[in-house]
Amino acid sequence: MPIFGFLIGTVAALTGIGGGVFIVPLLTLFYMFQPANAAGTSLTTIIFTALAATLNFARQRRIYYKIGLIMAITTAPGAFLGAYLTTVIAARELGLIFGFFLVFMALYMSIDLNRIRSKLSGKQRMPPETSQGSEVDLLQSTSRLLMGVTLSFFGGVASGLLGIGGGALTVSIMTLVMEMPIHVATATSMFTMVFTSVSGVTQHYLANHISIEYVVPLVLGTVLGAQLGAYTSKRVSARYLRVIFGVMLVVVGIQMIINYL
């Protein structure tokens, strides 16, 4: 379990997705967890993964703290609601929702919305890494900020419902809607994820969905892996991060769908 945790933590910090997209399938497919219990255990693990990655990203000065806190205003209550929904949705339906969600996110991340916007507007497209503004610029862009914060609520719901930390949606929102560079988005996502996960875990704890005996060995691995992933991510191009992100989600999503059909 710590070995699995180390690999998951590395990938989680590398892509900013929290690791739940792998922890939940691991627990359900190999350790025979019910989806709700897998989600609660996964989200508890993600708290520590996100904290470890955030500390590393903070040293790299890649986190937009104000934007992360603003987004947490909606992701936290969304996560609490999502965790509550696990108590009323059947296991099979929850598993299928998780699988289709992952495939959808992979396809969504593969779409270059920057290119589409430029074609529709007739404006010249700028490279993603150079076209985005600073945190101050984003805070002054009311429309982008409002849209990002609004959509982040659903990222929080997905976090609590599926035990994924919310990074899969948060990174997409930050890069495609708020137009943040993906390297900054992955770091800021991890920071926001700390608050999102704590909120969701509160409800999962009340519903008795958390298996501490699995959380501990997972955390031992994910915390170390998160350090490696955060360190490695600054050496990987934005393009390859998107490719890695998409491929991982497709593979795991298909596995989940097949398992619960």
pLDDT tens, position by position, 68-79? 999 999 999 999
Model confidence at 50: pLDDT above 80? yes
Averaged over 40-47, what is the pLDDT?
94
Residue type, 240: Y
Q: What is the dihedral of CA 6, 72, 179, 236, to 10 degrees?
A: -10
Which helix (H) or strand (E) segment holds residue 165: the answer is none
DSSP 3-state of 17: coil
Find the range with the poorest average confidence among 25-34, 73-82, 204-213.
25-34
Residue 17 one-letter amino acid: I
Q: How many residues does the structure list for the chain?
A: 261
Model confidence at 191, pLDDT cuts 50, 70, 90, reads very high
Of 115, 94, 107, 5, residue with least CA distance to 49: 5
**pLDDT at 141 > cutoff 80:** yes
Angstrom distance (rounded) from CA 103 to CA 215: 26
